[in-house]
Chain A
Amino acid sequence: MAAAAHSAILPRRGGIAGALSDAFWRHPGFLLFLLLTPPVLWLGIIYLGSLFALLAQSFFSIDEFSGLVQYEFTLKTYGELFKAQNLDIILRTVMMAAIVTLAAAAVAFPIAYFAARYARGKWKAFFYLAVMLPLWSSYLVKVYAWKLILAKEGILNWLLAKMHLTWLLEAWLSLPIVGGNSLSFSYTGTFLVFLYVWLPFMILPLQAALERVPVNLVEASSDLGAAPAQTFRNVIFPLALPGLVAGSIFTFSLTLGDYIIPQIVGTSRRFIGQAVYIHQGTAGNIPLAAAFTVVPIVVMGFYLWGAKRLGAFNAM
């Protein structure tokens, strides 16, 4: 019996490679361990390690006289976030992120809808690349392009002058809050650049969600007598909502954390990213900078929690 059982199982392979290969087969857990160790160590130590080190520092405070960090547990630094000037920064950033997200949804919807419903064959590929290329082209080059466009001597002012619409721009710039000296030094400019840079992140998930809307539901709706607007409101929009929410995660999160765009195009009033940058750099106030980074993490935490309830993760 023993001999028969022995012959039914292949002999073990010789050599180190063979022995290892056998070990992997016999103990799948061993292989899994080997596969997972390098990435988990890298991400765990380098990424999570630094992240926790940073968060820990937000519980320290800075001595107002010496400017040195005091390594004692305190919530004082978090208290500072609620000072009027810092609260202003947080509200301004969250408002901007919300408005950029809404505008991105409005601009992205027709593109995604057309690509999902009417584009086919060559046009499908064209639409896909037409969104992918701006998505992947250099972030700084895109910001730079808008610096060229919004400059006083730039193409936008030239175009408005040609169309005799300069008065319109001036009227807009004289408005409170959205206005300013010129487009490149106003919230309107900042908003346009944010919208431009993050727009592709909204189109892709939205298109993916729209592709999955069964066309016979749309047909059934019109067969039952719904006008196109009703079909859109009651059938297409609710089914596309998870994609919309998935896209908004990107536009919202990216706007919350950005510090370069408001620095290059915008007013001197700060956004969260700039506050973090200045506190950790020139001001040397790492605890406050760390506390500021907690704000986007918390805001995004709530946002993701809400998005998950709307089923946005299946649309990504």
Chain B
Amino acid sequence: MRADRNQRAPLALKIAATAGLLFLHLPILLIFVYAFTTEDKSYAWPPPGFTTKWFAVTWNRPDVWQALTLSVKVASISTAVALVLGTLCAAAVSQTKFFGRETISLLVILPIALPGIITGIALRSAFSIAEIPFSTWTIVLGHATFCVVVVYNNAVARFRRTSASLVEASMDLGADGFQTFRYVILPNIGTALLAGGMLAFALSFDEVIVTTFTAGQQQTLPIWMLEELVRPRQRPVTNVVAMVVVLVTFLPILAAFYLTRDGDQIAGSGK
């Protein structure tokens, strides 16, 4: 639906849309202000003063660094697994028609369609039945499972736009299957995979609900934040960590947007 160029939006609509956008953004901007406050005992507003000393304090905190390292490690491995599984699945579903194709798409979407607590508790009870001790790998198992869908969505959208005649032409010109994959398919789906991978990384980096069930005693960054939310002990450090997390997740989202914006479907619209 596209209005004529000279058609103006009604004032009430403008106000409602602006108010809605402000509602979406002001709370996040507030985090940035709080990261600089001198107050460390309460959430007092307006801040009594501004300082940058909490950045130095946070920098020297080993527990924050450990949590961050674990989060990055888990997100990297999960993204790698999700990239492989998601691409394979997307290739199979989009290139051929076969019996049970709908079921496969449903299977991929299910981990994100059902509430996270169900995935979490299901994995946890499975680990205890199989007597698997908690480790980085138990976290990865959970994360990779729901990251597959993000890669899959992006890859399927791109495969649909890639015309099958390109592949046929490559085969006619004597390339074997692997050469076709390397020189024709991969360059076509490359940016979609990159975008999907970035979104998967952001999703895993931020995940907390499933992680609380699969982490045991380990702390990823979101779990560290959750503890602070439930029992605030170091408010200033939490403020700084929250601000950094916002900045770190914004970059992959912006990158994914610019990588796929020319397409009919833009990355990330189905989180």
Task: Show the binding face of A for B, using Cβ within 8 Å.
Answer: 10, 13, 17-18, 20-22, 24-25, 28, 31-32, 35-36, 38-40, 42-44, 46-51, 53-54, 57, 107-108, 110-111, 113-118, 120, 125, 128-149, 151, 153-155, 158, 196, 199-201, 204, 208, 210-215, 218, 228, 253-254, 256-260, 263-264, 273, 276-277, 280, 286, 289-290, 293, 296-297, 300, 316
Contact = CB atoms under 8 A, between A and B. Distances in A.
A114 B9 contact: yes
A144 B269 contact: no
Contact of B27 (A196, A280, A289): A196
A148 B257 contact: no
22 contacts: A17-B176, A28-B96, A32-B96, A35-B91, A40-B104, A42-B144, A117-B1, A133-B28, A133-B250, A137-B246, A139-B222, A140-B208, A141-B31, A145-B30, A153-B43, A215-B3, A253-B113, A257-B117, A257-B209, A258-B115, A290-B121, A297-B114
A46 B30 contact: no
Q: Enumerate the 4 nearest inter-chain pairs by beta-carbon distance, A residue then B residue, closest first.
A: A257-B115, A110-B16, A50-B126, A21-B176
B30 A53 contact: no
A149 B176 contact: no
B249 interface: yes
A297 B129 contact: no
Contact of B177 (A24, A110, A212, A264): A24
B2 A215 contact: yes
Contacts of B43: 147-148, 151, 153-154
Interface string B137-166: 000010011001000000000000000000
Contacts of A36: 88-89, 92, 104
Contacts of A300: 113-114
Contacts of B271: 135-136, 201
Contacts of A28: 96
Nearest to B127: A50
Contacts of A113: 13, 17
A17 to B, nearest CB: 6
B48 to A, nearest CB: 11
Given A42-B144, A50-B122, A196-B23, A144 B257 contact: no
Contacts of B115: 253-254, 256-258, 273, 296
Interface residues of B, number: 89
Contact of A277 (B110, B117, B242): B117
A260 B226 contact: yes
B89 A39 contact: yes
A306 to B, nearest CB: 15
Interface of A is mostly: helix
A300 B113 CA distance: 9
Interface of B is mostly: helix
Contact of A264 (B34, B85, B230): B230
A29 B128 CA distance: 38
A202 B118 CA distance: 22
Given A125-B261, A134-B24, A135-B271, 18 more contacts: A40-B104, A42-B148, A43-B110, A46-B126, A48-B107, A110-B16, A118-B13, A120-B2, A136-B250, A138-B242, A139-B206, A154-B43, A158-B45, A200-B24, A257-B115, A263-B230, A293-B117, A296-B115
B57 interface: no
A128 B257 contact: yes
Given A25-B171, A138-B249, A260-B226, A53 B122 contact: yes
A218 B1 CA distance: 9
Contacts of B119: 47, 50-51
Contacts of A210: 1
B64 interface: no
Interface of B: 1-3, 7-10, 13-14, 16-17, 20-21, 23-25, 27-28, 30-31, 34, 42-46, 81, 84-86, 88-89, 91-92, 96, 98, 104, 107-108, 110-111, 113-119, 121-126, 129, 141, 144-145, 148, 171, 174, 176-178, 199, 202, 206, 208-209, 222, 225-226, 229-230, 238, 242, 245-246, 249-250, 253-254, 257, 261, 266, 268-271
B88 A155 contact: no
Given A43-B111, A54-B121, A158-B45, A17 B126 contact: no
A142 B117 contact: no
A275 to B, nearest CB: 10
A113 B10 CA distance: 11
A140 B222 contact: yes
B91 to A, nearest CB: 5
Contact of A144 (B85, B225, B253): B225
Contacts of B261: 125
B1 A116 contact: yes
